[in-house]
Amino acid sequence: MTRPLSEDINICYTLLFTGDSELKRGCHIKALLCFEDCRKSAGKLMNENSIYSYCFYRALRKEAQLLRILGLHKRAYRVLEKATKGLKDNCSSNEKLFVYLQLFDLSEEFEPLKTAWYFKRLSKEAELLNS
């Protein structure tokens, strides 16, 4: 028999699914707020369970993509950089790879000196996924 999911995990997943649903309906701001809330909620609990790491990186990726679609590239870069700064989670996932890919791409425009560092980080994540 499996254990029921905690309330926090249910909240994170609900926010992710609601954000996706709002995005399909064309409600970009509502979707953006859902992804942001999910990222913030999961970020506080990442050390407890790898599910929160997955939720964090997925919400962060979707939030940044949506900001870029809306033309808010600098804001997307700041959100990505601030959210990933100082993280010490050992989760290796496609979502994390996509976050670093966006950081690499945006850093070329906003902070070219950090591009090499983000490329190293991206390569490291790719190696972890392949192993």
Instruction: Report pLDDT digits (tens) over 32-54.
Output: 999 999 999 999 888 888 888 88
Q: What is the structure's pLDDT at 92?
A: 66
Q: Give residue 99's pLDDT.
A: 87
Residue 72 lies in a domain: yes
Q: What is the mean pLDDT of residues 47-71?
A: 91
pLDDT on residue 128: 82
**Residue 88 belongs to domain with CATH number:** 1.25.40.10
Q: Mean pLDDT, the chain, as a whole number?
A: 88
Do residues 92 and 52 lie in contact, with contact meaning Cβ atoms separated by under 8 Å? Answer: no
pTM (2 d.p.): 0.86
CA angle, 91 as apex, 22 and 87 as ends, to 5°? 85
Which pLDDT does position 1 carry in this prediction?
A: 42
Q: Tokens representing 37?
A: 């809330």
| Within-domain flag for 2 | no
Quote the domain boundaries for residue 102.
7-130
Asked if residue 1 belongs to a domain, the reply is no
| pLDDT value of position 27 | 95
- Asked whether the predicted pLDDT for residue 101 surpasses 70, the reply is yes
- Examine residue 109 and state whether it is found in any structural domain, yes or no: yes
Number of domains in the chain: 1
The number of beta carbons lying within 10 Å of the beta carbon of residue 91 is 16
Give the pLDDT band of residue 81 (cuts 50, 70, 90).
Answer: very high
Measured CA to CA in angstroms, residue 26 lies from 12, 35, 44, 112, 129 at distances of 21, 15, 29, 33, 33
Alpha-carbon distance of 44 to 63, in angstroms, equals 17
